[in-house]
Amino acid sequence: MKSNITSEKVKQIVLDCGGDLAGIASTKTLNAFPPDPRWPQTPERMTPDAKSVIVIGLRVPVAGFRAREPEPYQMMNMMNNRRLDKIARKVSEVLEKQGYFGLVMNNNSTDWRLKSGTYGHLSLRHLAVEAGMGTLGLGVNFMCVEYGPRVNLAVVITDARLEPGTPLTEQLCVGEGCSRCLYACPTDSVLHFHIDKRGCSTKAQVTGFYGAADIFDKFLHADDDGRKEILKSNTLMKYWQGLTRVWGCFGTCPRCTAVCPVGDDYHAHLADDQKVIPETTPERVAKGKEYQSARRAGDEVPGLSDWNIRWVGPDGYNGKAAKEQRKKFRAQKEAE
């Protein structure tokens, strides 16, 4: 028998299961506003019975961002994602006990039919925005007031009819005048509220599908000596770690998230450490300025089009949400 379930109860279930943030989006809205209508990442494609999508956020501990080598961050991020999977599964179990289904979709699902396998079945970042949990940043990272972009997401699709959250209209990303993520990006993949996915994947998915295909391709075309080199290489070792622990398959580059000044965790633990961005170059600064001028001039920017602006924050940046959150955070700290 179905219990009488509400959004508030479901959000509490998420927190009780170990999530840091919870939000609800309606499948109706999600089906009507797929991030890219040419490749619809919609819940109705998963199951026609879906009524709501529960979005779960788990913050990434700050320690990894303070490491001098990327590996400790990569390991922490991988563990965080595994934990998130377990939390989402627990939420699904609790829902089932209450008479509803809960279909878990994690952040490394890929639908081969959508844009040559570069899209997941659902875009979790867009779902989180629709649930009112945050907005997208300059490089389309999802960010929230609490942890900036240092948060991983999972979703549970359910047949429970739940009151959805209201998307924020304020842009949480400081925007072109900040551009710190753009300065820090080793592959120059942060675009104007857009991302060069292929470029980013060379650093952020080192043992992802394209990395794996690349090593096989090189092995097939190498001579005997070349093959021996590949068999002894660090790249193969990384690929092995990817196979055994999903290490390196996604989220392996911390730079755009480490330097983002949005979030209480940044101010508490990262501001001093990440103040200087060693990767900054005059070219990157010029690119940020170019984006700023384009926005001010009202130029056509695809990432800010009428369709895409709903996920960036149609009212633009005014800093109000960040100020409110800082106040709340300080009050919490004083009360502890």
Contact track, ligand SF4, 144-173, x by CB under 6 A:
-----------------------------x
Contact range with ligand SF4 by CB under 6 A, out of 32-40, 44-52, 133-141, 318-326 = 133-141
Choice between 100 and 183, CB closer to ligand SF4: 183
| Interface pick for ligand SF4 out of 64, 102, 137, 303 (rule CB under 6 A) | 137
The span from the CA of 54 to the CA of 44, in Å, is 15
Choice between 17 and 185, CB closer to ligand SF4: 185
Specify the length of the chain in residues. Answer: 336
| Interface pick for ligand SF4 out of 181, 301, 312, 322 (rule CB under 6 A) | 181
Q: Which amino acid is at 329?
A: F
| Interface pick for ligand SF4 out of 200, 206, 277, 312 (rule CB under 6 A) | 200
Rg (CA), the chain: 20
Sheet strands side by side (includes 151-158): 21-26, 52-59, 151-158, 102-105
Contacts of 113-120 spanning 24+ positions with Cβ under 8 A:
114/39, 114/41, 115/36, 115/38, 115/39, 117/209, 118/197, 118/198, 119/36, 119/39, 119/41, 120/41
Q: Hey, how many other C-beta atoms are within 10 angstroms of the C-beta on 285?
A: 13
20 in the Ramachandran plot: left (φ > 0), alpha (ψ -120 to 50) or beta? alpha
- Of 260, 252, 259, 256, the C-alpha closest to 78 is 252
Least Å from the CB of residue 156 to ligand SF4: 26
The span from the CA of 183 to the CA of 90, in Å, is 39
| Sites for ligand SF4 among residues 253-292 (CB under 6 A) | 253, 255-256, 259-262
| Interface pick for ligand SF4 out of 189, 241, 308, 325 (rule CB under 6 A) | 189
Least Å from the CB of residue 212 to ligand SF4: 18
Instruction: Number of residues interacting with ligand SF4: please give it, by CB under 6 A.
Output: 28
Residue 190 found at the interface with ligand SF4 (CB under 6 A): yes
Residue 321 found at the interface with ligand SF4 (CB under 6 A): no
Choice between 168 and 178, CB closer to ligand SF4: 178
Residue 203 found at the interface with ligand SF4 (CB under 6 A): yes
First to last CA, the chain: 42
The span from the CA of 148 to the CA of 143, in Å, is 5
Choice between 174 and 309, CB closer to ligand SF4: 174
Least Å from the CB of residue 290 to ligand SF4: 14
| Interface pick for ligand SF4 out of 18, 132, 186, 316 (rule CB under 6 A) | 186
Residue 206 found at the interface with ligand SF4 (CB under 6 A): no
Least Å from the CB of residue 272 to ligand SF4: 16
- Of 28, 38, 25, the C-alpha closest to 307 is 38
Residues lying near ligand SF4 in the complex (CB under 6 A)? 137-139, 141, 173-175, 178-181, 184-187, 189-190, 195, 200, 203-204, 253, 255-256, 259-262
